Amino acid sequence: MSQKKSLFSDAQSRMADIFDRLDVHCDVRRQLEQPKCIHQAAIPVRMDDGSLRVFPGWRVQYDQSRGPGKGGVRFHPNVDADEVTALSFWMVLKCALVNLPFGGAKGGVQVDPKSLSRMELERLSRGYIRAFYDVIGPDRDVPAPDVNTNEIVMGWMVDEYSEISREKVPAIITGKPPEMGGSAGRTAATGRGALLVLETWARRKGKRPEDTTIAVQGFGNAGYHFARLAHEAGYRIVALSDSKGAINTNMALDPEPIWRHKNETRELKGMVYCESSVCTESDVGQISQEALLALDVDVLVLAALENAITTDNVGQVRAGAILEIANGPVTAKADASLAEKKVTVLPDVLANAGGVIVSYLEWVQNRTGDYWSESYINERLADQLVNQAELCFDRADEMDVSYRVAAYLQSVERIVSAIASRGTQQYFIGE
């Protein structure tokens, strides 16, 4: 079986130890071993040349014991039911970890969105909502952006839902444009949250930003905003990569001009990407994406896709710590190898939770009609995420376990309480 097909089983393989540590009742184990619902649809799209293409799409609702499902919609050529199921499972853990009143869900369409025109992309986005209209809703399942989807796509989706329902329902989708009810601060929230987690850990370890080198794999929305904010905070960004290439320097990169150049040319090249007072054009070079993962840096940021670090390349990792902004970027076996090498891993369910926290705040604003400033949103994000990160780190220190184990324990405890409150076997047989 390929790594792609085993993504969900790989994610589940970490749970047996967590269940045993918490002595979780078999009723709860059975409920969390598989998703509640897997919805699949064929989404027809009339192309610009008049031809018809049909794209497979999914919406998986894994568990809703703590509230409505919550999770993004991914457009990618490699999306399949297994991947969407694994992502929905991680959303359950993530929402519980940061104590949000949501369950976990996820969506995806198997498509290369870069091959579509903007009008074709709009038709596909609206077709996704038509396909899954009857299984989503503000109190049922609330989609959001994910890989290759953004606020424009979310705007089309919320508009389509409103057209079908014949009423304005802004709380059905988060990550929308502000003009359509989207929240201030949502676009940068995932990257901002990842930096908050890194800073919380760094303070506990006595690490200073100016002494910390960082390599970032994945220069999309989350990776860019993390790199930009980390650079502003004084961290040294020494390497960046996207799906087409990678660049590095011995000094420090300024992510802002790199982002502008990337959006203009769709390329990462060794041009004048550094601050003029720090380095020159000759200091920046191109490296392979594989070489970036093997750089000797203080922090390796994984902000691309799942399975970036596997048993095939884990031996090449020389970073002292890994920050997982992507979902599932380290396989379970590779995770064990990193632990043996004493590489700190700040896990995805914590590190990328900033996006869902601000999605929750957007959902609340949509339901109340009371909209808040970006500074207030950022304060709420920091308060919620740093508090939950501190609880997780404290547990890891007290129990002498990895941050991932501590995060999973924190999540599963809350999920178990929600499921058990409905009754377990002991309750129903009078014990």
Residues labelled as active-site residues: 106
Q: At what angle do helices 189-205 and 354-368 cross, to 10 degrees?
A: 130
Q: For residues 371 and 170, what is the distance between their CA atoms, to the nearest angstrom?
A: 12
DSSP letter assigned to residue 308: S
Q: For residues 148 and 173, what is the distance between their CA atoms, to the nearest angstrom?
A: 16
> Which amino acid is residue 24, in one-letter code?
V
Nearest to 215 by CA among 325, 301, 101, 317: 301
Q: For residues 43 and 256, what is the distance between their CA atoms, to the nearest angstrom?
A: 37
Nearest to 261 by CA among 237, 236, 244, 283: 244
275: which residues sit within 8 A by CB, 6+ positions away?
A: 252, 254
The two most distant CA atoms of the chain are separated, in Å, by 75
Q: Is the dihedral of CA 394, 400, 402, 408 positive or negative?
A: negative
Tokens of 65: 């014991």
Number of CB atoms found within 10 A of residue 23's CB: 7
17: which residues sit within 8 A by CB, 6+ positions away?
A: 405
H-helix or E-strand spanning residue 152: helix 151-165
Cα–Cα separations (whole angstroms), residue 270 to 248, 275, 280: 8, 13, 10
DSSP for 180-229 reads: GTPPTT-TTHHHHHHHHHHHHHHHHHT--GGG-EEEEE--SHHHHHHHHH
